[in-house]
Amino acid sequence: MAGTTLTQPTVRTVTTLADGRQLIYYDSGIAAPRDTVDRRPLDPPSHGSEVRLDPATGAWVTIAAHRQARTYQPPAEECPLCPSRDGRLSEIPAADYQVAVFENRFPSLAGPPAPPVEEADGLWTSGPGTGRCEVVCFTADHDAAFADLTPDRARLVLDAWTDRTAELSARPGVEQVYCFENRGAEIGVTLAHPHGQIYALPFTTPRTARMADRAAEHRAATGRNLFDDLLAAERAHGERVVLAGRHWTAFVPFAARWPYEVHLYPHRRVPDLTGLDDAQREEFPALYLELLRRFDRLFGGGRTPYISAWHQAPTGQRDELALHLELFTIRRTADKLKYLAGVESGMDAFVNDVTPEDAARRLREVAS
């Protein structure tokens, strides 16, 4: 399985797991020789997810009952994302790795595209849950976190996200590629090893669809791009800016939903990760690592639970939407969490316990 050059100096090596799922190693520089043979006696993966269209809201919902059997918070010595060592076989056959990406064994979405079916009365539309779900292992170190990575390793992860976005976006039936990380048991993480996920979705997510509608309204009213104006306004106002470089700016949004929420935008608007230029890629790792480390310092140390979400334009809406990263925590104080209770969960109407201006000030105070 020869390593192929992705973008200098990143090299990727593609192999196959025992049940036929794809595994890709990403290495900085020349890939070290490694055993890529998966010796586990695995049955072929099974999945039977379905997507159903909510007739009242127009939002797609994925039904994936098979995921009830997925691995849930195993002890560290049984972690499936650690390298295979000392006779203990995992999802990673190699004895070590830098960054690894593989198809999820319990995917929410899988398989080739298929058209949805509409019931005769016209109310109910459904179809198979096609698409792809991948796991991204940021490091072989089980006890590390993304914030512990070096800038070079964070850049390697960025290269992996970009490579997967390019490949998955080109697949028939994929409308949107979503790269994200959930961290912390409070978020609902089932595996403690530092990792993220990538979903290749057969539909546009509801949040992205609302953004697209707002962007279209703004263009019609002003003749300008919504996200260009939003970024320029936050940079000029300054009170909610947390961190700024030559090519990226991080700010707490004016109407933040979460107690501590930061949006990170490249100054030159691009639709997805594949559009970033060399200067943007070079600056991103240090800025992003600093943001993560500030989140960890917010509450007196320790690892703050968070969700880090890349918002990328769907394949058919690339002109007006802007790539950006949204990072937020559900923690509002050192010992209190922000629960989505009646008004948030029931009506999707958020109530924030921290003013965005105070959140931005606090995130500036905990700078390195």
Decide if 317 contacts 204 (C-beta within 8 A): yes
Fold of 207-365: HIT family, subunit A (3.30.428)
The model carries a pTM of 0.95
Decide if 330 contacts 337 (C-beta within 8 A): yes
Q: Buried b vs exposed e over 147-174: b needs ≥16 C-beta within 10 Å?
A: bbbeeebbbbbbbbbbbbbeebbebebb
Which residue out of 47, 195, 263, 324 is catalytically annotated? 195
Q: What is the rounded distance in angstroms from the CA atom of residue 130 to the CA atom of residue 208? A: 19
pLDDT digits 0-9 by tens, 64-115: 988 877 777 889 999 999 999 888 999 999 999 999 999 999 999 999 988 8
Please report, as a single letter, which amino acid is at residue 14.
V
DSSP letter assigned to residue 148 = G
| Token digits of residue 25 | 């190693």
DSSP letter assigned to residue 340 = -
- One fold for both 3-40+47-203 and 207-365? yes
For the segment(s) 3-40+47-203, the CATH number from 3.30.428.10, 3.90.480.20, 3.40.50.1240, 3.50.50.60 is 3.30.428.10
Q: Buried b vs exposed e over 283-298: b needs ≥16 C-beta within 10 Å?
A: bbbbbbbbbbbbbbbb
* Active site (annotated) includes residue 193: no
User: Taking the domains of the chain in order of start, what are their residue ranges?
Assistant: 3-40+47-203, 207-365
pLDDT digits 0-9 by tens, 137-168: 999 999 999 999 999 999 999 999 999 999 99
DSSP letter assigned to residue 111 = B
Give me the chain's average pLDDT, please.
Answer: 94
Q: Buried b vs exposed e over 119-132: b needs ≥16 C-beta within 10 Å?
A: eeeeeeebbbbbbb
Whole-Å CA distances, 259 to 55, 288, 327: 32, 19, 11
- Give the least confident one: 34-43, 96-105, 358-367: 34-43
